[in-house]
């Protein structure tokens, strides 16, 4: 069995697509279905004919994100994950696992690198900068510690609930604050108040 798409598809802001061997594709496989029904979850070989990846170069010259274009890509039937037309539940599990993974990333190395860079720049004598670095160090040490049973030790063994979303939000907030602190510690202005 193989499925084909007769019209081109596109996904923008796809993380790591230029280096990926496989991608996830959610497609409506039951015509006339609505909302979350009739969606199937596929894995797509990124070397398949018709798959084109265009890196998006950001202001820092990195290209972590990409546009992925699909034109007449054929996906073998054995690349369906779960049951046909029941892919939304698989997608929810995937998103929960992603949030757990993102929320349990350790940032200690980034904080320690920032402290060393601020020290070399001669900005650790400023009491506001020093306090900001000390405050960042505590969450940095704590942030990589799993918040729930099983987090960080393989795939989730059940529904992750809101904890995963809270962990991801906490990391995103911390990284924004760390960015502000980095500008202040390596430049000549004080950290922004949030």
- Would you state the pLDDT for residue 168? 77
Q: Are 129 and 118 in contact (CB under 8 A)?
A: yes
Q: Where are the domains of the chain?
A: 2-85, 99-186
Q: How many angstroms separate the CA atoms of 158 and 47, rounded?
A: 33
Q: What is the chain's percent helix, strand, coil content, to nearest 5?
A: 40, 20, 40
Check residue 79 and give its pLDDT.
95
Mean pLDDT (10-residue bins), the chain, 194 residues: 55 92 93 91 96 93 92 92 93 82 76 91 88 80 46 50 75 86 78 57
Q: Is 98 marked active-site?
A: yes
CATH topology of domain 2-85: Butyryl-CoA Dehydrogenase, subunit A; domain 2 (2.40.110)
pLDDT at res. 136: 87
Tokens of 96: 């929960």
Element housing 15 (H / E): strand 9-15
Q: Write down the catalytic residue from 98, 116, 163, 177.
A: 98
Q: Global pTM?
A: 0.62
Query: What pLDDT, on the 0 to 100 scale, is given for residue 109?
Result: 85
Question: 177 Cβ partners below 8 Å, 6+ apart?
Answer: 136, 191, 194
- pLDDT number for residue 144: 45
């Amino acid at each position: 069995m193989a499925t084909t798409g007769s019209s081109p598809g596109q996904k923008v802001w796809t993380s790591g697509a230029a280096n990926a061997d496989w991608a996830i594709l959610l497609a409506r496989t039951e015509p006339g279905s609505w909302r979350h029904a009739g969606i199937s979850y596929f894995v797509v070989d990124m070397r398949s004919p018709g798959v084109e990846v265009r890196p998006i170069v950001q202001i820092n010259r990195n290209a972590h994100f990409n546009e992925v274009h699909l034109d007449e890509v054929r996906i073998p039937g054995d690349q369906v994950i779960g049951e046909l037309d029941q892919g939304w539940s698989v997608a929810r599990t995937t998103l929960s696992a992603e949030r757990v993974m993102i929320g349990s990333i350790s940032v200690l190395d980034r904080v320690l690198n920032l402290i060393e860079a601020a020290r070399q720049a001669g900005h650790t004598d400023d009491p506001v900068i020093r306090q900001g670095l000390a405050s960042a160090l505590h969450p940095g040490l704590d942030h990589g510690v799993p918040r729930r049973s099983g987090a960080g030790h393989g795939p989730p063994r059940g529904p992750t609930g809101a904890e995963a979303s809270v962990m991801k939000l906490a990391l995103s907030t911390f990284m924004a604050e760390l960015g502000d602190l980095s500008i202040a510690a390596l430049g000549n202005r004080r950290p922004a108040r949030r």
